[in-house]
Amino acid sequence: MTILMDYREAMNRQLVTALRSHPRVELETATLKTGDFLIDNILLIERKTFTDFVLSIKDGRLFRQAVRLANAKKVATMILEGTSGDIKAIGMKREALQGALICLSLKFNLPVLRSMSPKETAWLIVAAAGQCTSTRRTEKHPFPRPAPAKRTNIHQQQLFILQGFPGIGPKRAKLLLKTFGSLKAIFSADPSEFKKVGGIGNVTAEKIWEVIHSQRGG
């Protein structure tokens, strides 16, 4: 079994030692674009300590990573490492933790395994790899992935585009889309119709209309 390990993880002595101690494991260091471990090009694993976990929630990194893991054409999982003492020390509310786990598991189809120590993390990696590879030998895909809950949200993209207009931030973008229903309706509206939307005045309405209708060279 060949484990490609991201170079960052290579600095974790305990984990590396534990992995090397497995006779069937061949460990290589590489630069992985997504995830921390790639086993036999089948199984993709992201390892996070609780501290990492909390930080990556705060800066929104967690969910971007989750999307990418789910989109990779691999079996993907996250291993969350730490004890209940760690959670308390960080000061994370249990509800917040559970909420994040629900989101990862159900919205992103990314299962989360729990580990108490680097040593157990190593064990989990090997065990998971063993189950995935053996699965592959017997049947190709025993159970098709449940409906891809992933699928980038069109609504989100529409809001994103609206925010490109001058004077339009998240709040007004949401109001506009709610009022008009679709981007097409917004792009076909008159300045006077914009002003009916709360928070948009004369100046902003005119600017938006101008950007939409301005022709090349005019």
Partner DNA sequence: TGTTTTCGATCTTGA
Partner DNA sequence: TCAAGATCGAAAACA
Candidates 9-17, 33-41, 120-128, 190-198: pick the segment binding a copy of itself (CB under 8 A). 120-128
Sign of CA dihedral 11, 12, 13, 15: negative
Least Cα distance to 45 among 1, 101, 3, 99 occurs for 3
Q: What is the pattern of x (binds DNA, CB under 7 A) and - over residues 94-113?
A: --------------------
The verdict on 80 binding a copy of itself (CB under 8 A) reads no
State which of residues 199, 210, 211, 212 lies at the interface with DNA (CB under 7 A): 199
Candidates 21-29, 101-109, 133-141, 162-170: pick the segment binding DNA (CB under 7 A). 162-170
- Least separation in angstroms between residue 168's CB and DNA is 5
State which of residues 51, 101, 117, 150 lies at the interface with a copy of itself (CB under 8 A): 101
Closest to a copy of itself by CB, 2 or 84: 84
The verdict on 201 binding DNA (CB under 7 A) reads yes
- Least separation in angstroms between residue 11's CB and a copy of itself is 25
Other C-beta atoms lying within 10 Å of the C-beta of residue 168 = 21
